Structure formats: C-alpha cells, structure tokens
Amino acid sequence: MSKRPVLKLLKIVLPILLGAFLIWYSLSKLSFQDILDFAKNANYGYILLGVFFGLLSHLSRAYRWVFMLEPLGYKIKLGNSIMAVFATYLINYTIPRAGEVARASILTNYEGVPFEKGFGTIVAERIADMIVMLGIIAVTLFIQFDFIYNFLVAKFDLTKVIFAGSVLAILGVIFIVVLRCSTSRIALKIKGFVSGLIEGGLSIFKMKKKWAFIFHTLFIWVMYLLMFYVTTLAFSDLNSIPFGAILIGFILATFSVAATNGGIGSYPEAIVIAFSLFSLPEDPSRAFGWIMWSSSTILIFICGGISLLYLPFFNRNK
C-alpha cells in the first residue's frame, strides 16, 4: 500500500479517534446530566444572541465570497453562496477540509465557475482569516503581557525561559538561512507555500473592492468573538470573567476546531485549559464549552442541512 492513501486515511481517522477520546475524557470529568443542569440554569437570551452573531458572521462570509469572484468574471447568486458556505461547515464535520472542496464544487455545478478558480478564492479567504487570527493573537499578547509574563515566572525558571527562547530564535534564523539556500524538494515546497501566503495576502490590496473585503473579514471575526463573549454571560458562574480569559479562550477554541471534526470533544477542553489559567471553576467552564459548541453546531446542522436539500430546487432551471 502506497504512502499517500495511508496518509489520507490517517487524516480522516486520527481526528475522529481524538474527538472520541476527548468526548470520553470530558464526560468523565463532567457528566452529561451535569451539563444538562448547567444548560437548564443558563440564560437563553444570551445564548440566542450569540447564535445570531454567529449567523451574521456566516452570512458576511457568503457575501464576501460573491464580490471575491467578480474580478474573475463570475457574478454568482447570493443564495448559492450562502448555501455553499453552510454546506462547507456541515461537511467538515464528516471529513476535515472536505467542505472546502464541496464548496468549490457547488459553484462549478450551479454557477459554472471552474473548480480551480473557486477553490483559489477559498484559499485566499483562509489566508486573510489567518492574518486576522495572527492579529488577534498579537493583540492578546500585548494586552495580557503582564499576565503572561507573571504566569511564566510563576511556572518556570525565567532564566531557562529566556535561554529556551534565545535558542529557538537562533535555530529559527539558521532554519531560514538553510531553507533559502536549499534546493531540496521539501525546501522548495515550504518556500512555495510561504510565497503563496505572502502573495495571497498582498493580493487583497489589489482587489477592486479591497476595503469591502477587509471590512467583511474584520466583521466576521468580530462576530465570532462577540458570539463567544455574550454566551459566557449566560452563565452566572462566569459573569465576572476577565477579558483576557475571553481572548485566550477564543484563540484556543478556534484552534481546537482544526484538531477534531468541527471541534467535537476538543472545543470544551480547550475552554477549560484557557479558563483555568485565570483560576475559573472547571465545571462551569467545561459546561460552557459544551453548550457554546452545541449552539454553534446546531446552527450549522440546521442551516447546512437545509442548504444541501434546497440547493437543487433553488437551481432547478440548471
């Protein structure tokens, strides 16, 4: 059996196994009945408001995609863009990143957009999203510098931390120098990937509607963050949560979505790790993680399911 099919299989199986393990681990710490008890006492006004913010972010992403395709000569229907976006999120719960392929395929089938062009715009989106995420991380490090510094001092020997940081910096410089001089296959792939990221990021400023693109990109992530924040207000145990915990929790939770299919199992545990840094109680943190994940997942399953069913009827003339 060749390596490529094995790697593809591992990419599918490992996130599922990790998700299953994390579900078991999470429910061993906080039973399903305990989660239901927290859910019964939650303020659903805030939860629904959070879901509304999440819905706005998805709609904004769909609208942004419409004018991303215009410079390529394709004016697609907003309805198809919205349903393709929701279908993407839903399909990603089955096979990681399969949703992006399906999203480009939907445009090919119903709007006549060549697959490679549609997929290229999705890659450009991801680059823009990554840039915003790096910006959020940078702002968090700046705002929470004292907290992070004191945490490192309390947990680790500061001399060792500085030494380790210096070693990593030196190794990083050596790696960059070797990479630039190397002509190996791996080095060329890495350089091509980095070059593509830079080119994709700079291409945003060459768009006709670049300011609209930048606005919607920022709007999407502000809505994500607001969704996270207002949902914490639904739990009395988390009402006095520091803003730093919101930012760090949001960052870890966002990365957890890439760890398992749709963040299943990993999302609540990421919340627990982030909130524990601020000495917040573990049980409400874990319950919040499950309810936050569940509310956004229900939104995706409802809208994604309707989208997949309605797409053929919406495009019945094609």
Q: What is the pLDDT of residue 307?
A: 92
For residues 275 and 283, is the Cβ–Cβ distance under 8 A?
A: no
pLDDT per residue over 265-276, tens digit each?
899 999 999 998
Q: What is the mean pLDDT of residues 223-250?
A: 90
Task: List Cα–Cα distances, 29 to 33, 266, 268, 286, 287, in angstroms.
Answer: 12, 14, 11, 9, 10
Highest mean pLDDT among 165-169, 194-198, 211-215, 308-312: 308-312
DSSP line for 166-205: HHHHHHHHHHHHHHHH--SHHHHHHHHHHHHHHHHHHHGG
pLDDT per residue over 120-165, tens digit each?
888 888 888 888 999 998 888 888 777 776 766 666 666 766 777 7
Token pair in block for residue 21: 């393990």
What share of the chain has pLDDT > 70, as a percent? 87
* Residue 1 pLDDT grade (very low, low, confident, very high; cuts 50, 70, 90): very low
Angle between helices 115-143 and 243-259 (to 10 degrees): 150
Q: What is the pLDDT of residue 163?
A: 73
Q: Which spans in the chain are helix H?
A: 3-29, 32-40, 44-69, 78-91, 98-111, 115-143, 145-155, 158-181, 185-203, 210-232, 243-259, 266-276, 282-314
**pTM summary value:** 0.83
